[in-house]
Structure 1
Amino acid sequence: MLNGTNFKEWKRHVLIVLGCTDIDLALKQEQPTPLTADSTPDAKMDFERGTESEEINQDKSFLDDLEQRFAKNDKVEMTSLLTSLMSMKYKVQGNIREYIMEMFHIASKLKALKIELCGDLLVLMVLVSLPAQINQFKISYNCQKEKWTLNELISHCDQKEDRLKRDKTESAHLASASKDKGKKRKYHNEAAKGPAQKKQEQVPNNCYFCDKPGNLKRDCTKYHAWRAKKGLPELPKAK
C-alpha cells in the first residue's frame, strides 16, 4: 500500500508489474505524437504501445504528480541511511548472511540517492561491525593481499559462524560432562567414606581397666580404688 514513506519502493514494484505486461511505456515516456505517412516502424510500435486505451495515455504525468506529492528530502534520507549503516553491529545469535545482505541493501538505497560506496569499503564496514569473537578472522583478512567480493565475504563469514556455533556446542558439552564427573566423584568419595565412619561410630568405648562399655578409665571407680590400694597418688579429676 502506498504511503508517505514507501513511494520509491511502490513505484519500483508498479514498473516491474507493468513491464511484465508490456504496458509500462506510458509511465516512462510522454504521449507519442500522432502517426504520419513518414513514421518509422519503431514509432508506429511505440504509438500502439502508448495509446492502448484512453485511460493509460496520460499515465506518465499522473505518476510525475504522485512523485512530487510524495517527494522526500534527499538529504534527510541520506543522513538516516548513513547513520543506520554506520551504527549496525552484528550479534552472534543472529544470521550473519542476512545481516550482511541488510548492510548491502542500505548501500543500494544510498546508491539510488547518488551516494555510491565502493565494494572494498563495504566489505571493510561489514568486518568492522563484527563482534570481538571474530577478531582473529578480521586480522587474517587484513594480513592477506587478496580482497574479497560480496559473495566471498558472505561465504567466509558463513564458515566462521558455523565454526563458532560448533565450538560453543562442544564447550557446553565438555562443561556438562565435567560437572557430571565431579558429582560422581563426590558421590563415590562419600560412599567410600560413609561406611568406615559408621563402623567407627559403632565401635564401643570400653574402659581399659574394667572393660565396662561406655566407661572411661579415668572415671572408673574400680581403677581409682585399685590405685588407692596400691598406694599410688590420686589422679586429678577430669574437667
Structure 2
Amino acid sequence: MCKHNFIFATSTFHASYVVKFNGFNYNEWSEQVEYYLGVQNLDLALMTEKPTDLTENSTDEERSFHKKWERSNRLSLKFLRMTMASEIKTSFPATEYAKKFMRLAKETSQSKVVDKSHAGALISKLTTMKYDGSRSMYEHVTKMSNIATGIRNMGLSMDKNLLV
C-alpha cells in the first residue's frame, strides 16, 4: 500500500470515530476534530491565518511554512467535510480555508440553537392553544395549521394526532 493510500485509509478510519457535525453539536464535534488534527499534526491551518503569498524574496523558512500550511489547510478541509452530516454538507457555504470553515460551523450551530428555541416556543404555543370563541373555528384551525407549518419548515415533524 502506498503512503498516500495509507494516510487516506487512516484518516477515513479516524473520521468514523469523530461525531458527525449536525448543526447542533459544534462543541463536541470541534473538540474531537481539533484533537484528531492536532495528533496528526494537521492543525496548523486551524491555528494560524493564511500566510502571505510567496515572492521572489521569500526565505526558505517562509517557503517551508507556506508549504506546511497549504498541506494542513487542504487535508483539514477534507477531514472537516468528511465529519459533517450529509444533510448539513449540501447547504454548507463553500470556503477555501479550514479556519473559516470552523467559524462558519460555529455560526451555523449558534443559529440552530436559536431555531431550536423558536421551535420549542411554537410547539408550546400550539399545544396550549384553546378555542375561546373570540374568532371563528375556521380562523382558529388556520392559525394552528400555520404554526404547525412553521414547525415543519424548521425540519421537525408534526404528528397529525397532535394537531387533532
> What TM-score, normalized by structure 1, do the two folds share?
0.33
The structure with higher relative contact order (CA 8 Å, sep 6+) is 2
> What TM-score, normalized by structure 2, do the two folds share?
0.46
